[in-house]
Structure 1
Amino acid sequence: MILATTKVEDVDRFLTIFSTKGAEKRGQHGSKGSTVFRDPVEENRVWVLFDWDPEGWQEFVSDPEVPPILQEAGHVGKPQPAQLVGRYDA
């Protein structure tokens, strides 16, 4: 699992591209799915929980076809993965 965040120009525009072109490209790099959350404080920030291994994530962010997709989706900067600091039962 990977948790990542990014700011976007427009959440609806982001979701349109994320769920189509972005999903196709992520699938090519082994992503098994994702769940998108809107930040409760920053209106144009989204958080995405990916069912994806770190190797696939690295392949995706290194793919030269990804930046134009991010641009079309309206990203403001690059998506940033959150740092895992622990796992706990219950």
Structure 2
Amino acid sequence: MLLATTKVVDVDRFIQIFSTKGADKRRLHGCKGATVFRDPSEADRVWALFDWDAEGWKNFVSDPEVPAILHEAGHVGKPQAAMLIGNYGA
């Protein structure tokens, strides 16, 4: 699993691209799914939890076609991955 955050120009536009072109590109790099959250304290920030391993994420962000997709989705800057520090059963 991988958690990432980014600011976006428009959340609806982001979701439209994230769920189509973005999903197609993520699948090519082994992503099995994603869940998106809106940050209640920042209306222009989204969080995404990906069913993805670190190698798939690395390949995705290195793909030369990804920056154009991020731009079309309205990303403000690059997505930042959160560091997993633990996984607990309850």
Give the TM bin, normalised by the shorter chain.
over 0.9
C-alpha distance in structure 1 between counterparts of 2:50 and 2:74, whole Å: 19
Kindly indicate whether residue 84 of structure 2 is the aligned counterpart of residue 84 of structure 1: yes
**Residue 88 of structure 1 aligns to which amino acid in structure 2?**
Y
C-alpha distance in structure 2 between counterparts of 1:68 and 1:53, whole Å: 23
Calculate the aligned-residue CA RMSD, in Å: 0.5
**TM-score in terms of structure 1 length:** 0.98
1:88 deviates by 1.5
* 1:29 alignment counterpart: 29
**TM-score in terms of structure 2 length:** 0.98
5+ residue gaps, structure 1? none
* 1:63 alignment counterpart: 63
**Residue 9 of structure 1 aligns to which amino acid in structure 2?**
V
* 1:46 alignment counterpart: 46
C-alpha distance in structure 2 between counterparts of 1:31 and 1:74, whole Å: 21
**Residue 79 of structure 2 aligns to which amino acid in structure 1?**
P
Q: What SS does the corresponding residue of 1:43 show, helix, strand or coil?
A: coil
Q: Any residues of structure 2 matched to 1:3-14 within 5 Å, and which?
A: 3-14=3-14
Deviating 4+ runs (over 2 angstroms): none
Q: Number of paired residues?
A: 90
Percent identity (aligned): 74
